[in-house]
Amino acid sequence: CSAGANKPVLTLFTKKPCPLCDEAKEVLEPYKRRFILQEVDITLPENSAWYEKYKYDIPVFHLNGKFLMKHRVDTQKFEDQLRKVELQSD
């Protein structure tokens, strides 16, 4: 198995401070070996488009570039989508 090569990418749109983001990352902790977490700080100038889109909604999660969920981690939805992506890459 090529570990890491086909792992799905979970993108977290965040800013500092973000207690909800920290909480979300804790909820995702048990799954962390199954995906690559990429954090996007929406307050950085190069991310201004994301800031406009998500400034009132963080944390926002995209899985492999597709919108997945916002505000809180829906573990059931996350688990389902993660499994789908994993099956596609096998």
Per residue in 9-68, pLDDT (tens digit) is 999 999 999 999 999 999 999 999 999 999 999 999 999 999 999 999 999 999 999 999
CATH code linked to domain 9-88: 3.40.30.10
| Per-residue pLDDT at 6 | 83
65: left (phi > 0), else alpha (psi -120 to 50), else beta?
left
Does pLDDT of 5 surpass 70?
A: no
Q: Which residue has the higher pLDDT, 88 or 48?
A: 48
pLDDT of residue 41: 98
Q: Tell me how far apart the alpha carbons of residues 65 and 29 are, in angstroms, rounded to a whole number.
A: 20
Would you state the pLDDT for residue 89?
A: 78
